[in-house]
Structure formats: C-alpha cells, structure tokens
Amino acid sequence: MADKQFKKKIGDALGNNVLRGALGRFGDAYTTAREKAYEGYDFKAISENIERVKSYAASHLDEMLDQFEREATTRGAKVYRATTGEDAKQYILELAKSQSVKRVVKSKSMASEEILLNKTLLAEGMDVQETDLGEWIVQLAGQHPSHMVLPAIHMTKEEVADTFTNHLNRLNEPEISELVKTARVELRKKFLEADMGISGANIAVAETGTLIMMTNEGNARLTATLPPVHVYLVGIEKIVPKFEDAGHIIQALPKSATGQKITSYVSMVTGQTPAYYPDGTVKDKEFHIILMDNGRRKMYEDEKFKKTFQCIRCASCLNVCPAFQLVGGHVYGHIYTGGIGTILTNFLNSEKDAQNPQNLCLQCGKCSEVCPGKLDIPEMILEIRNRMGEKQGLPFTQKFALDVVSNRRLFHSLLRTASIAQKPFSKGQPVIRHLPMFLSGLTEKKSLPTVAKVPFRDVFKTIKQDVKKRKGTIALYAGCLIDFVYPKIGEGMIVALNEKGYEVVFPDGQSCCGAPATYMGDRKNARKCAIMNIEALEAEKVDYVVTACPTCTHALIDSFQELLQDDPALVARAEELSRKSRDFSKLLFDLGGLKIGGDGEPLKVTYHDSCHLKRKRGVSAEPRKLLSDTLGVQLIEMNESDRCCGFAGSYSIKFPELSGPIMERKLGNIEATGADAVVVDCPGCLMQISGGLDKRNPGIKVIHTAELLLEKRKKAPKKNKK
C-alpha cells in the first residue's frame, strides 16, 4: 500500500496544472508522431530482430564482453569492468585526479545519473557541466531528470527562462529558439575549457569495440572529441554481437523515443583519437570505457526479469502510460521512472525505492504494446508486487479482505447480506450515488452499482434453456461481478450459446478468480482461488469454459498454471482449463456468430476495448463484428478506444485521485462520438464507465455485449405501419 508521503507526492503532481499540461500535450502529440514515424516500417519485425540480437548477447554475456574489451583495447581504449556503481565512481575519480582534471563536461548518461556520479565529482571540487540541453536545464534547476529521454519534459518554456535568468543573472525571454541559442553560447565555452568528457552510449558493438550514441544536439560529439580525456560509462546490457545488429536499434530508438525517423546525430566511436591541446600539442587521447554491472547480472539471472536486457531505453513505455502522463517522473522517486524504471530501480537501486512506484502500474498493458524490446512490463511489475507481498506481508485490511474473498461460502454470504444492507444508500435505485463519511470519496466522481437482489447463480436455476441440434456443453464462469452485480450478462450469454447448440452449465462451487489477490501481491490467496475454481469447473467434462470478464479469462488461461506450477496434478488440470477457456465474444465469433436479427430500432453505439481483452487476449475486431453484423447497430469508433478507463480493479480504490482523471478522459471520448450507448466486454469497465456517466451524462447507456444481444434480440420486432 502506498504510504502517506508518496500519496502527498501524487497530490502535489496532480495539483500542478503546468506539469499536467506539459505531460498531456506531449502524450497526445507522441502517439501521432510515433505512428507517422513507423509508417512504411514493420514494427513487429524490427522488435523481433531486437529481441533476437539482445537476448543472444545477454545469454552469451561474458563472451560478448570479452570480445568487446579485446577489440576496444586493440584500438587504444582502456576498458574497466565495474561490478558496482561505487567501483565505477572510484575509477573515474582516480582517473580525474591522475590527469589533474578540474573541469568536466558530460553528454547524456542515465548510467551516471543512476550512480549519482555528479555528486561524487562535485564533492571533490570539480566543475561538472551537463551539456545535453534537457540535462543542463534540470541541473541548473537543482532537480534530477523526470524522463529517460526527455529530462526536462516536466518544465515549461517559462520555467526554463526563469531558471536561465536566475543562473545567468540576465533576463531570458520564454522563446524556445532564444533559449536554445543561449544554451549553445554558454555551453560552447565549457567544451573548449574541459579537461575531461564523460558520455553514455546507446549501443556497444562486441565485434568491433564500437560505441554508438544517438543525439539531437551534437553535444555528444563535442564531449567525445574536444577534451583530452574521455570516459564512456556503459551498462553491460547495451552490448550487441555484430555491427549490423546495431541497425535494428538505430531503426527503433528514435521512432519509439520521440517519434522521429532518425536522430540528428548518430555518432560511432571506435578506438582512440588524437587530442588537440591549447598549446598546439597533439597526442593520443586518454580513452576509457567502463562496462558497469551494478545489479544488471542479478536482474538477468532472475528468470522472471531476464528480458530487461532487451530494453533499449527508448522510454516509449513512459510516453503511453496513463499514470505517468498524470504525475510525471519525479513521483517515482529515483532516477529511472515509469514502468521500466520501477523494474530497474528494484534491481539497480533497492527494493525499498521500488515499493511505492510499483503501485502506480494500472496493469493496462499499453507499455508492452509499444515496447520495441518486447518486454511484458506489467507482468514484471506484478512479480515484484507479489514478491514484496510474500516478503513483507500486506496491510491488515487488505489481507483480511482477500482472506474473505478466497473463502467462497463466507464471501458469498456477505454479498447476499450486502444486497439487503445497501438499501439505505441505494434508495431503491440500481446505483449508489452517495456514501457517508470516510467512504464518500468512493462516490465523488462516480456512482457505484448495487449488489443484485438475486445473484446469477440463483437466476440460473430458473432459466429454461432452448437448445436445438445440441452440439455440446459449456461451463459458464461468472466471476464476482456477473454473479453478484450484473446477472443479466449471464442471461445473455446463455441465450446466445443455446442458439449455437450448446447447453450451459453453472458449476456452483466457482468463486472469485483470484485476480484481486494477484494484483495486490497475495499469491497465497490467489492460489487458493485457482484450486477452488479448477475443482469446481471440471473442465475435463465440458467442451468449453466461457467467461464474459477478460480479467477472469486471463486468470483461467494464464494465471492458474503459473500459480500451481509446483503441483503436477493441478498443473495438468489447469492446462486443460486453459485450453478450453474462452472469452464470450471471442467464442461466439469463432462459433460463427448469430443469425442477423434485432428489434429493428436504430441505435448508435461506440465500443470501449478492455485492456485485458485486447492486449492479453488479442480480441478487438470480434465484438465489433458481432455488434454491427448481428444486431445491425451503427458503430461509431471513439478516439483512444483502447485507452484504460481507470478501473483496474482495486486501483480505483487505492488511487481514486488517479483513476478519476483517467476515467474522465474516457468519458470525454465517449461523449464526443454522439453515441446513444457505449458497449463493453468487461464488467469492471462497465462498472467504472457507467458510474462515471451516471454522474456526468446519464443519457448515455453503458452495456455489456452479451446483455445488448439479449436485449435487442428478445424484443419482438416492431411492425411497419401501413
């Protein structure tokens, strides 16, 4: 659970309208720019090449490092392998002292930020100057970078002008071209006076000992060429086997980082170059390369995190993250920010520093969709969360709630009780619009649905199924929300599947899929839920297991096997369940859909893509076809249809201050379509969006695909008037 100080950081960031505006504008512009930059390129093929090259280098790491050192040394470099950040800092410090270094210029290096190198050098009385424009701005402002590629993205031109004015003691107007000109003038003399240059690198080529930098300002070239001593500080994950392998990263990095086809400068340094001294002397440059571990091997050797070596540090995961776009990088606390930053912080700094930031992840999966290194960042963050839960335990209230949820009889009896106890708050309405006292925040931005008077498991017993030409049997897995909040969704599923020739059974012993426990870091209770449902569903006896909740689908197909991997008998049953489990819309589409027919009444609808359905299951076109082809409704696509609605299970309770703005953006996109209804395939999204629209625009209906099919097809068609 996030602590109070962390919550305060979030509150301060949300209250900073300048920050929100800067991040929002960039986020909106980035998506379009990235799409345009990748036009004509096969992103999937590029990503697969990066995965191949980087995974090979990582799995042959010592061989690659030996080859790089051999080739670089042959060409005049002095290569040092630093096990820790302290080793790296000590090497640079001793080198600086031996060369009587007083003035240092640095081009952009997140590795140097990672180990707080500037602080060490400044403490020894050296003048250390950042020369990347963003890094220089941040340095003058007394801050650290808020973004791996765009260090000063959180600052406006007015703030930059004020920073320059305070530092230079002369007025600077907030004109970008003038601010850049000022920086160029001020920094040029720093290059000429410097005794040492320090750089990072984007790529290290083992085959030739070459270091490659991609920049837009030319400062990296000046840093590498003008000072008589030059040091490259490079993380060992930057290694690639061959020179031609670098091309894949050069293709992807600028497009993914800033939406450029290519950066202004691609600099390649292979070996020692001459150094020109003010007195006219020319001699070979002191050229040093530090290959730094600092926790990277530990990260790679962990089976769950080895793919982090495929990260090319483009920061596209930050650029599309709904949480990052709201609060920026400084809330994350350490040097590396966003989703990948949380993982890096956990290994390269400390688990303690990653504890609060990992909570910011919505698990929406958008980052993985755009990652050119093919990293499943949400799954890695989830693993960190679960490990922390196992090591430290959860707060009492969370643990108690999850213990209740994993106890089927107790959980269900409490839900039945809640259907009666909620009456004073619902006042006869199907929603709760106001809650008292400390619970009032839950209904500030949205209403909440009431618990159904009769749960689906009871409704099911009264349904007479009409199955013609029976083809088989399907077990319906309802999950918590369909069972106890939205039973009509279950009714719609049965009618549709009956029409396809399948009898539907409802195993009574089923309960929560365990997703709340999984996403809150309680693997023990998630495992209990997995076992309970495997035993209840008896997948061996049916043709399919169907659910209309994508989070539940993900649990049935993916999570149960992992949770039970230490028990061969249960794993076998989990695999059988996984093979037979389907999301409702996907199954119905694969079975050939339904006969065309509806009530004939015109209806304009827009469709919201659930994060789990689209990105975990790859289902997006199928429900749209069911709506337009089967019911004949007018489908109007909304902007950002697959952007998270902000529900994310317990996230909306833990971080209502973040969930709210994310939801508001979704509601705005829905309203802009002019649709009569928004259709969803996730009960959680249904709860979030309908709750928000109930407060903001109750005229727009929110409905699940299964329920809309039921509603439109059960009504008798209207007769034409003569």
Give the residue extent of every domain in the chain.
78-296, 420-590, 604-714
Sign of CA dihedral 652, 656, 657, 661: positive
Report the pLDDT value the prediction gives residue 720, as an integer from 0 to 100.
Answer: 44
Report the pLDDT value the prediction gives residue 404, as an integer from 0 to 100.
Answer: 86
In DSSP notation, 507-530 reads -TT----SHHHHHHT-HHHHHHHH
pLDDT higher at 510 or 155: 510
Average pLDDT of span 90-104:
96
Per the structure block, which two tokens stand in for 85? 């950040």
Distance CA 287, CA 273 (A): 8
Report the pLDDT value the prediction gives residue 505, as an integer from 0 to 100.
Answer: 97
Report the pLDDT value the prediction gives residue 516, as an integer from 0 to 100.
Answer: 92
Per-residue pLDDT at 384 exceeds 70: yes
Average pLDDT of span 73-89:
97
Report the pLDDT value the prediction gives residue 2, as an integer from 0 to 100.
Answer: 62
Average pLDDT of span 220-235:
93
Average pLDDT of span 151-172:
89
Of 258-272, 420-434, 441-455, which gets the smallest average pLDDT?
420-434
Report the pLDDT value the prediction gives residue 721, as an integer from 0 to 100.
Answer: 40
CA 514 to chain centre: 21
Half-sphere CA count of 116, side-chain side, radius 13 A = 8
CA 556 to chain centre: 22
Report the pLDDT value the prediction gives residue 32, as an integer from 0 to 100.
Answer: 93
Of 352-356, 437-441, 655-659, which gets the smallest average pLDDT?
437-441
Dihedral Cα 167, 171, 172, 174, nearest 10 deg: 120
- pLDDT-derived band at 597, boundaries 50, 70, 90: confident
Distance CA 476, CA 623 (A): 18
Fold equal for 78-296 and 604-714: yes
Sheet bearing 472-476, strands edge to edge: 502-505, 472-476, 544-547, 581-583
- pLDDT-derived band at 76, boundaries 50, 70, 90: very high
The architecture (CATH level 2) of 604-714 comes to 3-Layer(aba) Sandwich (3.40)
Per-residue pLDDT at 419 exceeds 90: no
Strands 274-276 and 544-547, by their bridges, are unpaired
Report the pLDDT value the prediction gives residue 278, as an integer from 0 to 100.
Answer: 66
**Buried b / exposed e along 502-541 (16+ C-beta atoms within 10 A):** bbbbbbeebbbbbbbbbbbbbbebbbbbbbbbbeebbbee
Average pLDDT of span 176-204:
93
Cα–Cα distance list, 575 to 116, 564, 581 (Å): 47, 10, 10
Report the pLDDT value the prediction gives residue 715, as an integer from 0 to 100.
Answer: 65
Average pLDDT of span 353-363:
93
Report the pLDDT value the prediction gives residue 716, as an integer from 0 to 100.
Answer: 44
Give the residue carrying structure tokens 């703005």. Answer: 661
DSSP 450: P
Residues 605-632 have pLDDT tens digits of 999 999 999 999 999 999 999 998 888 8
Q: Which CATH number fits domain 78-296: 3.40.930.10, 3.40.50.10420, 3.30.1330.40, 3.90.1170.50?
A: 3.40.50.10420
Report the pLDDT value the prediction gives residue 551, as an integer from 0 to 100.
Answer: 95
- pLDDT-derived band at 592, boundaries 50, 70, 90: very high
Report the pLDDT value the prediction gives residue 437, as an integer from 0 to 100.
Answer: 62
Instruction: Tell me what the pLDDT averaged over the chain comes to.
Output: 92
- pLDDT-derived band at 428, boundaries 50, 70, 90: confident
